[in-house]
Each structure stands twice: as structure tokens, then as C-alpha cells.
């Protein structure tokens, strides 16, 4: 996510920090590099021009140039402007309090991830206590209704299909179905095309008139680049949507389209999709995303993810670890929590500097590594897991054979256990700093190698 842009910006700031006092030429060079980084990330050129101009004007003030830490001030200015570019404040989903059911209509081009986004949104709202109904109103794409029905079945949400011919009728009937079955939300999945055409627009307008949606959300593929600008402009004119769901954000190293949407249309990004799983749809926070782009992490996001999976037993386990030390069972528990929180890749983006460090450590983001380590731990006896120091050479060979892994991998895991307390201390220190330098990144790469996340398979 924004990997290329993030790397370029962090390199630019790194060079500024090495200069101490800054001259106007230093600012001009930095702004030129930022401009090129944004353009290469496929940000709309008009957006880039305005963004760089605002940053440059603020960076050249005497308060910045004459300060003791001008480089830090430049970083803060870029962070503030990037937050404004992304939307400044959170834009929550607005639902009517005096209407049941509320109707949310999704629009967008074919291939943008609209049907998947509908299911993910239903899953998110179901978790918030709502009772959603999915309406399969894409009557043009073969098997679209089947896809939605499959996704709905996986998350325990009903899908209304109707006759599968008249999209407007299906949408209207879905609202009546929701009333009859006490669903308080209807999520309407509409048809898309490979490109904007009159038939698609007319159908979207007709559905809007028929069901009077409380919210219209446009689903955009983050990999769409500058084409996003033309698409959102047309939909904004014809349908007047309320906000954006940015899909496939985890699969785009550039992500410039996401940075262009708010500036070009004035429409906020409300959700972002960061993976394939039902729980991968997240509420969009502009300030947090800006910090992640600049390599500052998202500590609040980590806390929120941890709170979702936390329970009383984990609190008791943490207290026990402080008293009695760290066991293999504790290591296994931590890995299972990482899975619940979205996996290594997702968590790495929230830790300052970690995403970049993982990119430089071969195999670091390999989710299968967790599976291999789990297999090794499960092949240990209860006593071995509690007291790993008792695992001698003969035991290591038995554990390796039982897990289908090599003795070298077992040795690597035991070494990891021995260093885990020290490694966690370093990680806490890095997270509290809020930014990571080259020395810290090297430390994290070393940590991941010791944890068996970048070694041989």
C-alpha cells in the first residue's frame, strides 16, 4: 500500500534531516522530489501542482527556515497537507434514524470490487449490531447474483435475488423483503460496465429514484490510477454519490488514485478494503493514512485491532508472563493473535518503519511462516513448551520429524523464543518513537531474521 510513494518521501525527508539548517535551494529540491514521487504514484497532476505549491509556501516561511529543527517542520507541513488532501476529518457512514430499513446503494465500474465490497460492508455493519439484507441488482453480469449469494452465505447475511432480470424491481422488492423480515439495512449491489455507458447510468438513476437510498457509495479500484478522476466525475454528475469505498488498496504500490479522489470531487473516502477476507473493510481515517504513507505507522490502529480480539484470558496471560516468563505456548498465542488482527502484512503497515523494513527482508511478509512455526510448536510436549531449555538434540530431531520441518528450523524457533522478551522490548521502544531511522530499520530487519520470518523455508 503506497509502498513506492512512501519510500520516496521517506528518502527525501532523510536527506533533509541530514542537513541541519535548510536553505531555500534545499526546500526547492525537496519539493521537486515530492512532486516527482506523487506523479510517479499516479496522482492527478492538478492535485500534485496544488499540493506542492501549498507545501512550498509554508516551508519557506521564516518560522520554518530559522527554527532549530527545520527538517521536522517540513515533515509536519507535508503531513498536515497530506491529511487535508485525504479528507482532514473522518467521514462516517450516515444513516437515517427515522427510517427503517436504511438503504445503501453501491455503484461503480465492473471489476472495481463492488460485489465483494457489498458483502464486506454487510459483515462490518452486522458486527455493529445491524441486520443487513443484500440485494442482488446486478442483472447483467453472469453469475453476479450467485457470487453475492455465496459471499452472503459465508458471513450469515441473507441475499434477495428476485427475478434476476429487472434490477429496479429487485431493488424495490428487496426493501419490502427487509420490512417483512425486520432487516434494518438494505445494501444494493448494482451493475457495472468496463467503461461508463448510458444504459448503466440510466439504470443506476432509476434504482436511486425507486429506493431513495440514504447513502450512495462508489466503489473504486485503487489500481485505477488517474482514470479514477474521469470515472468519479461522471458518477458525481449523474448519480451524486455520498462517498467512496476504495478497494484493493493492499494490492497497489502506487495508490495515486486514492490521493486524488477528495481533491477532484470533494467526495470523502469512507471505507478502504485491505484484503480479501470479509473483515478486511476498514473505516477510513485520513490522519492515520497520512502517517502511514510517511512511515509513521498507525499505533491507534494497532490498539483498535488488539481490542477487537482481546479477552480476559489474554489479560491474565500477560500478567503471568510478567511474573513467570515467556513460554512456547505464549509465542503460539501471539501468532494466533496476529492472524486474528489481519496478518503480518496488515500489522506491519501500522508499525512505524516496519513495512519498509519487511520489504527489505526477503520472505518477511510470508504468512505461511506462521503456519510452519505453529506446526513445530504443536509437535512439542506440554513440558517442552513450558520449558524450552529442556529441548536437547534428540528432542529437536523428534520435533522436526513430527512437524515435517528441518532441525535447523526447530533450532531457529528455539533461538527466537530465547530472544523474544528482548525483541518485544525493542519493538515497544520503536513504536513509541513515532518515526524510525536507518539504525532502527536495521534493528527490525535483524529482529525479523531472528524470528524466522526472513530465513530459509
- Ligand-binding annotation for 287, yes or no, is no
- Ligand-binding annotation for 109, yes or no, is yes
**Half-sphere exposure (Cβ direction) of 166: Cα atoms closer than 13 Å:** 9
> ∠ at Cα 309 (305, 314), nearest 5°?
120
- Ligand-binding annotation for 368, yes or no, is no
Tell me the Ramachandran region of residue 255: left when phi exceeds 0, alpha when psi lies from -120 to 50, beta otherwise: left
- Ligand-binding annotation for 279, yes or no, is no
- Ligand-binding annotation for 247, yes or no, is yes
- Ligand-binding annotation for 217, yes or no, is no
- Ligand-binding annotation for 266, yes or no, is no
Distance of alpha carbon 339 from alpha carbon 417, whole angstroms? 19
- Ligand-binding annotation for 189, yes or no, is yes
- Ligand-binding annotation for 112, yes or no, is yes
- Ligand-binding annotation for 150, yes or no, is no
- Ligand-binding annotation for 100, yes or no, is no
The cell for 40 is 510517479
Phi, psi of 375 (to 5 degrees): -60, -40
20 alpha carbon, distance to own chain's centre = 35
Peptide bond before residue 220 is cis, with ω within 30 degrees of 0: no
- Ligand-binding annotation for 281, yes or no, is no
- Ligand-binding annotation for 295, yes or no, is no
- Ligand-binding annotation for 192, yes or no, is yes
Strand order through the sheet with 243-247: 159-160, 132-137, 185-190, 102-107, 215-221, 243-247, 269-273, 281-283
Q: What H or E segment, with its residue span, contains residue 54?
A: helix 45-59
Q: What H or E segment, with its residue span, contains residue 3?
A: helix 3-17
- Ligand-binding annotation for 389, yes or no, is no
Residue where the block lists cell 494497532: 302
Contact 227/254 with Cβ under 8 angstroms? no
Distance of alpha carbon 240 from alpha carbon 219, whole angstroms? 13
Residues annotated within the binding site for GTP are 108-115, 189-193, 247-250
Please enumerate, by residue number, every residue annotated as part of a binding site: 108-115, 189-193, 247-250
Amino acid at each position: 500500500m503506497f509502498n513506492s510513494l512512501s519510500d520516496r518521501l521517506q528518502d527525501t525527508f532523510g536527506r533533509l534531516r541530514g542537513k541541519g539548517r535548510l536553505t531555500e535551494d534545499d526546500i526547492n529540491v525537496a519539493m521537486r522530489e515530492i512532486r516527482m514521487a506523487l506523479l510517479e504514484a499516479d496522482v492527478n497532476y492538478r492535485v500534485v501542482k496544488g499540493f506542492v505549491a501549498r507545501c512550498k509556501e509554508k516551508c519557506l516561511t521564516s518560522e520554518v527556515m530559522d527554527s532549530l529543527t527545520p527538517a521536522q517542520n517540513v515533515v509536519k507541513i507535508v503531513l498536515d497537507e497530506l491529511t487535508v488532501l485525504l479528507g482532514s476529518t473522518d467521514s462516517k457512514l450516515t444513516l437515517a434514524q427515522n427510517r427503517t430499513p436504511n438503504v445503501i446503494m453501491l455503484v461503480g465500474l465492473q471489476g472495481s470490487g463492488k460485489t465483494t465490497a457489498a458483502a464486506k460492508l454487510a459483515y462490518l455493519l452486522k458486527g455493529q449490531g445491524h441486520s443487513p439484507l443484500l440485494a442482488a441488482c446486478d442483472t447483467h453480469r453472469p453469475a453476479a447474483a450467485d457470487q453475492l449469494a455465496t459471499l452472503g452465505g459465508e458471513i450469515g447475511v441473507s441475499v434477495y435475488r428476485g427475478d434476476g432480470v429487472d434490477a429496479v424491481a429487485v431493488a424495490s422488492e428487496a426493501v419490502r423483503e427487509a420490512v417483512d423480515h425486520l432487516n434494518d439495512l438494505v445494501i444494493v449491489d448494482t451493475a457495472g460496465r468496463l467503461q461508463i455507458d448510458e444504459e448503466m447510468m440510466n439504470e443506476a438513476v432509476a434504482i436511486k429514484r425507486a429506493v431513495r437510498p440514504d447513502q450512495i457509495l462508489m466503489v473504486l479500484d485503487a489500481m485505477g490510477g488517474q482514470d479514477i478522476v474521469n470515472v468519479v466525475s461522471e458518477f458525481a454528475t449523474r448519480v451524486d454519490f455520498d462517498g467512496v469505498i476504495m478497494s484493493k488498496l493492499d494490492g497497489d504500490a502506487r495508490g495515486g488514485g486514492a490521493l486524488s479522489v477528495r481533491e477532484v470531487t470533494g467526495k470523502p473516502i469512507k471505507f478502504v478494503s485491505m484484503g480479501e477476507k470479509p473483515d478486511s473493510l476498514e473505516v477510513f481515517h485520513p490522519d492515520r493514512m497520512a502517517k502511514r504513507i510517511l512511515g509513521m505507522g498507525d499505533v491507534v490502529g494497532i490498539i483498535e485491532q488488539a481490542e477487537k480480539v482481546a479477552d480476559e484470558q489474554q489479560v491474565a496471560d500477560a500478567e503471568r508472563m510478567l511474573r513467570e516468563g515467556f513460554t512456547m505456548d505464549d509465542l503460539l498465542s501471539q501468532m494466533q493473535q496476529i492472524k486474528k488482527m489481519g496478518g503480518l502484512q496488515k500489522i506491519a503497515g501500522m508499525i512505524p518503519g516496519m513495512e519498509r523494513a519487511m520489504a527489505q527482508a526477503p520472505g518477511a511478509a510470508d504468512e505461511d511462516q506462521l503456519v510452519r512455526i505453529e506446526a513445530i510448536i504443536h509437535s512439542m510436549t506440554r513440558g517442552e513448551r513450558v520449558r524450552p531449555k529442556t529441548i536437547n538434540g534428540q528432542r529437536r530431531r523428534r520435533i522436526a520429524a513430527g512437524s515435517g520441518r528441518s532441525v535447523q528450523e526447530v533450532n531457529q524457533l528455539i533461538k527466537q523464543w530465547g530472544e523474544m522478551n528482548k525483541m518485544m522490548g525493542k519493538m515497544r521502544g520503536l513504536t513509541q518513537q513515532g518515526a524510525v531511522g536507518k539504525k532502527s530499520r536495521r534493528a527490525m530487519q535483524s529482529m525479523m531474521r531472528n524470528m524466522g520470518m526472513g530465513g530459509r523455508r
